[in-house]
Amino acid sequence: MESYGDLSETERTRHRRLREQGRTDRSALFAVLRAGFVCHLGVVLDGTPFVVPTVYGVDERFLYFHGSVASRSLEGGQAVCVTVTHVDGLVLARSVFEHGVNYRSAVIYGVPRALTGPDKLAALRVLSEHAAPGQWDYARRPSKKELAATTIFALPLDEASVKVAEGPPGDGDGPDAELGLWAGVVPMETVRRPPEPDPALPAGIAVPAHIMKIASPDGA
């Protein structure tokens, strides 16, 4: 099992509310980041807060993301906030006040760096392999023109906060337990369906093994 040590606590990452949901082991950060491939990038553009979803990839040091929407501002060395969240269940309690959500989330702060040359190509590979392992070696690589039109940023994973909420409602041992109402969790998950071929695909081109593996619920 990989071991990364603890996350460094800062004023921005200190767990102030629901501290029992906080995770300080860096492996918890990687568990959240590797479970998805869409993040929300928060940045201030011309004095206005701006949040946009974008795909990402991650290695042991950086989170890489497409930055075309905010590239002009980010190239000036502005700090950003990136969030990744997975919803695992609706927590339905006996009282509305105790309702909640089971989730895993990560928040990363820092100043991203625009990549160029071989670093940009390597980051694009990380992005591709993070979402669809095996696709980088299967599909055509980006051309020089396509690379020039693509903006990729690297955000250090030095300052991050992780929270995980799990388990049943918290009112099972309180006065509301006597109400005789159902309470529990409605589990939720992202499900991958069988691959759907492009209508323009010529007959006889089979789904490659790595895509079948991506689409399989158990990755087999």
In this predicted structure, what is the pLDDT of residue 17?
66
The answer to whether residue 155 sits within a structural domain is yes
What is the DSSP pairing of strand 113-114 with strand 80-92? Answer: unpaired
The answer to whether residue 105 sits within a structural domain is yes
Per-residue tokens: 38: 């869409």
Check residues 2 and 46 and name the one with the higher pLDDT: 46
The answer to whether residue 134 sits within a structural domain is yes
The answer to whether residue 51 sits within a structural domain is yes
Length reported for the chain: 220
Segment 200-207 shows an average pLDDT of 94
pLDDT confidence tier of residue 125, bands split at 50, 70 and 90: very high
Segment 46-59 shows an average pLDDT of 91
The answer to whether residue 204 sits within a structural domain is no
Least confident span in 75-79, 163-167, 182-186: 75-79
Residue 67 has pLDDT above 60, yes or no: yes
Give the domain extent around 33: 19-189
Reported as a single tens digit per residue, the pLDDT across 130-148 is 999 999 999 999 999 999 8
- Tell me the C-alpha distance between 74 and 43, whole Å: 8
Among the listed residues 116, 24, 38, the one whose alpha carbon sits nearest the alpha carbon of residue 83: 38
What is the DSSP pairing of strand 62-66 with strand 48-58? Answer: antiparallel
Residue 184 has pLDDT above 80, yes or no: yes
For residue 88, the number of C-alpha atoms closer than 13 Å in the C-beta half-sphere is 13
Exposure string (b/e) for 54-79, b if CB count within 10 Å is 16 or more? bebbbbeebbbbbbeebeebbeeeee
In this predicted structure, what is the pLDDT of residue 121?
95
Segment 32-45 shows an average pLDDT of 93
The answer to whether residue 201 sits within a structural domain is no
The answer to whether residue 23 sits within a structural domain is yes
pLDDT confidence tier of residue 1, bands split at 50, 70 and 90: very low
Q: How much is the pTM?
A: 0.87
* Mean pLDDT, rounded, of the chain: 89
The residues, ordered by sequence, that sit 6+ positions from 179 with a Cβ below 8 Å of its Cβ are: 94
pLDDT confidence tier of residue 18, bands split at 50, 70 and 90: low
**Cα 177 to the chain's mean position, in Å?**
36
Token pair 């895993």 in the structure block, residue: 104
- Tell me the C-alpha distance between 46 and 73, whole Å: 8
Segment 197-211 shows an average pLDDT of 94
CATH of the domain at 184: 2.30.110.10
Reported as a single tens digit per residue, the pLDDT across 73-109 is 676 678 999 999 999 999 999 999 999 999 999 999 9
Total domains, the chain = 1
- Tell me the C-alpha distance between 98 and 93, whole Å: 6
The answer to whether residue 158 sits within a structural domain is yes
Residue 191 has pLDDT above 80, yes or no: yes
